[in-house]
C-alpha cells in the first residue's frame, strides 16, 4: 500500500459539503445527504444543575422556538407537537413582512440568551454545541442587518425570497405531495386544513417579492423567467394528474375506518380546491412575478443589490472562507485549475490524447467504448457490482486510517426507474437516526454512459466511504447530540470532508496502478476548483452570466446545458458553491499543521477521529478545536 503523503509537504509549513430540506424563511439549509428524517422526536434531558446538561436543555428550547416559526420544517423533521407547536401540521409559516420581522427578533433574542451562558463551564457535546450555535447566530445577525429577502435565525439566508431553486412555488407543493403523511382520518382533515392556507402564502410571498423588486432586490431576470416557467408547468396539466392530487389519493387508500365514499368525497374536495383556489393563486403568482422581470435586469451577481459586497462577504463566511476574501478565493481557484489541468494532461498524454485542451480530450475519452459499460440491465448490474467492490476495498483497509469506524454498513442501490428522470446523478442517504437502517449510496443508471469506468471510484469515496457515510454515520453516535445540531448542516464541513476523502484515497493506495481512476478524481476536483473562480467572478468581480458559463465550459469540458444550470444556481445562492473546495483545503491544512507540530507523535487515525467524532460544525469552530487537540497530543507520551 502506498505510504502516507505528508500534507505538510504539499502545503509547505503554512497553517491555514435526494432531498434537500430548506427552511428558506429561516435561512437554515440542511442537506438530506447528511441527515435522515426524525419521526416524533421529543428530546428531554433530566433537570439538573450541571451546566452542560442545563445548556443542552436550553438548546432544545431554542430548536423548538425555531421550528414553531416554520411548521413546514417541523413536518419535514417529524417532530412532536411539544417541539413543533400544537397543531403545527395544519399550519404554514407567516410569509408576511411581520413574519419576517419575527425571524429577526427570534435571532436577536436567541443570541442574547446564548450570550448569558458561561462558556467556561461547558464541556463535551455542550461546549461544541455552544460554539456551533454562536457562530450560526452571529452570521444570521449580520445577514439580518441588511433587511433583504427572508430573515435568518441560523446562518445566512439566500438573498431573495424566491428563486428558481427555492420558494413557496416549489417547497409547498413538495410539502403536500411528498412530505406530509396521512395515516388516519384526523391527519386527512389536518392535511386539507393546511392546504387551504396555500393560496394566502402565495399571495404573501408575491407581495414581498414585489416590494423587494421595487427596492432593487429582485433575483436576476433569468431566475424570474425560470420561476414563471415552472409555475406555468405546475398549473398547465390536468388537475387530476397534479402531484398534490395523485399523492393525496394514494395516501388515503390505506386509511382504515373511512369508507370509500368518504374517500371519494375528500378527493373531490381536493380537486375542487385546486380548481377554484390553488390554481388561480399560482397563476396570479406567475403573472405578478413575470411583471417583475423588467425590474431585474440581466446582471447575475449579488454586487448588483444594495450592500451586495458585504452580503457576499457574509455568504463566504457562512460557507467556509475562514478569513479569506473574494480575491484570495478567486486566485486559489485559478491556481488550482492550472495545477489540476497539468496533472490531467500528463495522464491523458500517456493514453494518447495529446491534441486540444483538457475539456475536449476528456469528452473524447468518455466516448471510448473501453471505458463504458453496456447500456443494458447487465451493464447496470456490473456498475452496481463494481461500486460495491470499491466500498469493500475501503472497508478492508480503513482500520489503518481511522481509529473509529461507523457501526452501520453502506449499501449501493439504483435510483428507482420511476424517479430517475427527475433525480440527481448520485447521492448519499444516511442511516436512520436510531441506527437500525444502513446508509445508502444511490446512483442514477438511466444511461450507463453517464458513468465511465474511471469515474466510479471517486464517486464511492465521496458519496460513500470514507466520505459522506463515515462522517454522517459517526455523527449519529455523538453522545447527547441535541436536536438543534441535527437541524444544521455545514456544507464546508460535510462536502469539504467528502472532497478530502477523495484525495485521502490516493494516500490509502486506492488509485495505485489506476491512472484513469485518478484522472476521474482530478476531473471532480477540477469542477470544484472552477467553482471558486466563477462564484467569486459573478459576485465580486462583476462577471456576466455568459462570462461565467463560458469559463466553466472551457475549463471543465462539460456540456453547456448542464453548466448553464450550475451557473444559474451559483447566481442566486452566493458563496455556497465555494464551500466544497474551501472545506477540502481546510481539512488538508489542519492535517498539515498537525503533522508539522506533532512530528513523530502524529497519528492519522487519531487525527481523523478528532475531526469527525464531534459532529458537523463550521470551520472556525473545528479549527479552534483542532488547535486544542494538537496541544493535548503534544503532552501525550
What sign does the CA torsion over 210, 215, 221, 223 have? Answer: negative
Q: Strands of 426-429's sheet, edge to edge?
A: 410-414, 439-443, 426-429
pLDDT at site 18: 31
Percentage of the chain beyond pLDDT 90 is: 82
pLDDT at 9 over 60: no
pLDDT at 475 over 50: yes
Residue 442 phi, psi dihedral angles, 5° rounding: -95, 140
The string of DSSP codes covering 336-353 is HHHHHHHHHHHHHHHTT-
Give 388-417 pLDDT, tens digit per residue: 999 999 999 999 999 999 999 999 999 988
The closest alpha carbon to 481, from 615, 351, 282, belongs to: 615
Give 340-380 pLDDT, tens digit per residue: 999 999 999 999 999 999 989 999 999 999 999 999 999 99
Grid coordinates representing 332 are 486559489
Interatomic CA distance for residues 418 and 423, integer angstroms: 10
What sign does the CA torsion over 612, 614, 617, 623 have? Answer: negative
Q: Mean pLDDT of all residues in the chain? A: 90
The closest alpha carbon to 401, from 501, 484, 272, 291, belongs to: 501
**Taking the domains of the chain in order of start, what are their residue ranges?**
51-157, 161-300, 319-580
C-alpha separations of 468 from 36, 429, 441, 474, 500 in Å? 13, 9, 9, 10, 11
Asked if 143 and 157 touch (Cβ cutoff 8 Å), the reply is yes
At 437, the pLDDT band (50, 70, 90 cuts) reads: confident
pLDDT at site 142: 97
C-alpha separations of 417 from 19, 20, 200, 251, 533 in Å? 17, 20, 36, 21, 36
Asked if 159 and 302 touch (Cβ cutoff 8 Å), the reply is yes
pLDDT at 326 over 50: yes
Grid coordinates representing 82 are 411539544
C-alpha separations of 535 from 152, 331, 445 in Å? 22, 12, 30
Asked if 495 and 525 touch (Cβ cutoff 8 Å), the reply is no
Interatomic CA distance for residues 170 and 192, integer angstroms: 18
Question: Can you say how many angstroms the Cα of residue 399 is from the centroid of all Cα atoms in its chain?
Answer: 29
Asked if 413 and 442 touch (Cβ cutoff 8 Å), the reply is yes
Number of H helices, E strands in the chain: 28, 5
Give 77-120 pLDDT, tens digit per residue: 999 999 999 999 999 999 999 999 999 999 999 999 999 999 99
pLDDT at 2 over 60: no
Residue at grid coordinates 444594495: 306
pLDDT at 20 over 70: no
At 44, the pLDDT band (50, 70, 90 cuts) reads: very low
Question: Can you say how many angstroms the Cα of residue 263 is from the centroid of all Cα atoms in its chain?
Answer: 38
Interatomic CA distance for residues 293 and 221, integer angstroms: 5
Among left, alpha and beta (phi > 0; psi -120 to 50; other), residue 405 is beta
Interatomic CA distance for residues 225 and 223, integer angstroms: 5
SS3 480: coil
Helices (DSSP H) in 78-147: which residue ranges? 81-84, 97-114, 124-144
Give 121-164 pLDDT, tens digit per residue: 999 999 999 999 999 999 999 999 999 888 899 999 899 999 99
Q: Is the pTM of this model over 0.85?
A: yes
Interatomic CA distance for residues 211 and 150, integer angstroms: 12
Interatomic CA distance for residues 480 and 473, integer angstroms: 15
Which whole number is the average pLDDT over 325-340?
98
pLDDT at site 614: 95
Amino acid at each position: 500500500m502506498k505510504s502516507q503523503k505528508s500534507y505538510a509537504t504539499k502545503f509547505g509549513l503554512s497553517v491555514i459539503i435526494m432531498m434537500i430540506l430548506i427552511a428558506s424563511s429561516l435561512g437554515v439549509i440542511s442537506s438530506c445527504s447528511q441527515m435522515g428524517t426524525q419521526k416524533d422526536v421529543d428530546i428531554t434531558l433530566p433537570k439538573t444543575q450541571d451546566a452542560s446538561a442545563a445548556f443542552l436543555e436550553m438548546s432544545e428550547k431554542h430548536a423548538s422556538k425555531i421550528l414553531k416559526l416554520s411548521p413546514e420544517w417541523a413536518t419535514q423533521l417529524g417532530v412532536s407537537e411539544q417541539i413543533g407547536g400544537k397543531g403545527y401540521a395544519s399550519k404554514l409559516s407567516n410569509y408576511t413582512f411581520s413574519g419576517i420581522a419575527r425571524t429577526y427578533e427570534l435571532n436577536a433574542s436567541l443570541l442574547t440568551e446564548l450570550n448569558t451562558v458561561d462558556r467556561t463551564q461547558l464541556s463535551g457535546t455542550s461546549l461544541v454545541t455552544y460554539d456551533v450555535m454562536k457562530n450560526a447566530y452571529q452570521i444570521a445577525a449580520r445577514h439580518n442587518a441588511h433587511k433583504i429577502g427572508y430573515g435568518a435565525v441560523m446562518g445566512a439566508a439566500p438573498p431573495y425570497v424566491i428563486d428558481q431553486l427555492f420558494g413557496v412555488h416549489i417547497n409547498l407543493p413538495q410539502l403536500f405531495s411528498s412530505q406530509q403523511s396521512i395515516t388516519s382520518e384526523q391527519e386527512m382533515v389536518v392535511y386539507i386544513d393546511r392546504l387551504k392556507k396555500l393560496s394566502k402564502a402565495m399571495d404573501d410571498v408575491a407581495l414581498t417579492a414585489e416590494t423587494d423588486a421595487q427596492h432593487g432586490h429582485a433575483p436576476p431576470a433569468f431566475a424570474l423567467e425560470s420561476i414563471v416557467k415552472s409555475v406555468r408547468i405546475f398549473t398547465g396539466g390536468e388537475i387530476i394528474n397534479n402531484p398534490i392530487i395523485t399523492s393525496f389519493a394514494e395516501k388515503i387508500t390505506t386509511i382504515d375506518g373511512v369508507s370509500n365514499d368518504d374517500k371519494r368525497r375528500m378527493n373531490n374536495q381536493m380537486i375542487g380546491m385546486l380548481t377554484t383556489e390553488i390554481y388561480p393563486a399560482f397563476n396570479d403568482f406567475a403573472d405578478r412575478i413575470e411583471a417583475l422581470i423588467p425590474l431585474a435586469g440581466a446582471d447575475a451577481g449579488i454586487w448588483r443589490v444594495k450592500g451586495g459586497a458585504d452580503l457576499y462577504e457574509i455568504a463566504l463566511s457562512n460557507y467556509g472562507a475562514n478569513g479569506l476574501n473574494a480575491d484570495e478565493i478567486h486566485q486559489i481557484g485559478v491556481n488550482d485549475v492550472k495545477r489540476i489541468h497539468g496533472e490531467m494532461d500528463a495522464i491523458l498524454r500517456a493514453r494518447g490524447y495529446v491534441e486540444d485542451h483538457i475539456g475536449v480530450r476528456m469528452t473524447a475519452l468518455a466516448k471510448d467504448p473501453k471505458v463504458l459499460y453496456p447500456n443494458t440491465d447487465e451493464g447496470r448490474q456490473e456498475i452496481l457490482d463494481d461500486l460495491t467492490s470499491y466500498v469493500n476495498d475501503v472497508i478492508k483497509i480503513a482500520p489503518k486510517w481511522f481509529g473509529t469506524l461507523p457501526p452501520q454498513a453502506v449499501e449501493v442501490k439504483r435510483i428507482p426507474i420511476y424517479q430517475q428522470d427527475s433525480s440527481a446523478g448520485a447521492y448519499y442517504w444516511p442511516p436512520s437516526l436510531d441506527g437500525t437502517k444502513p446508509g445508502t449510496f444511490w446512483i442514477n443508471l438511466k444511461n450507463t454512459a453517464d458513468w465511465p469506468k474511471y469515474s466510479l471510484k471517486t464517486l464511492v469515496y465521496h458519496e460513500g466511504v470514507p466520505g459522506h457515510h463515515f462522517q454522517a454515520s459517526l455523527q449519529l453516535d455523538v453522545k447527547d447530540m441535541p436536536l438543534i445540531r441535527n437541524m444544521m448542516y455545514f456544507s464546508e464541513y460535510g462536502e469539504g470532508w467528502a472532497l478530502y476523502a477523495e484525495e485521502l484515497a490516493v494516500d490509502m493506495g486506492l488509485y495505485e496502478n489506476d491512472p484513469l481512476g485518478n484522472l476521474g478524481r482530478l476531473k471532480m476536483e477540477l469542477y470544484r476548483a472552477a467553482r471558486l473562480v466563477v462564484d467569486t467572478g459573478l459576485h465580486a468581480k462583476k462577471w456576466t452570466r455568459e462570462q461565467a458559463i463560458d469559463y466553466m465550459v472551457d475549463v471543465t469540458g462539460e456540456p453547456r446545458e448542464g453548466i448553464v444550470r450550475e451557473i444559474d444556481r451559483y447566481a442566486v445562492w452566493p458563496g455556497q458553491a465555494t464551500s466544497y473546495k474551501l472545506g477540502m483545503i481546510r481539512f488538508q491544512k489542519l492535517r498539515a499543521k498537525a503533522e508539522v507540530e506533532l512530528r513523530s507523535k502524529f497519528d492519522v487515525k487519531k487525527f481523523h477521529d478528532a475531526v469527525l467524532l464531534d459532529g458537523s460544525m463550521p470551520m472556525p469552530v473545528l479549527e479552534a478545536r483542532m488547535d486544542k487537540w494538537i496541544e493535548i497530543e503534544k503532552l501525550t507520551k
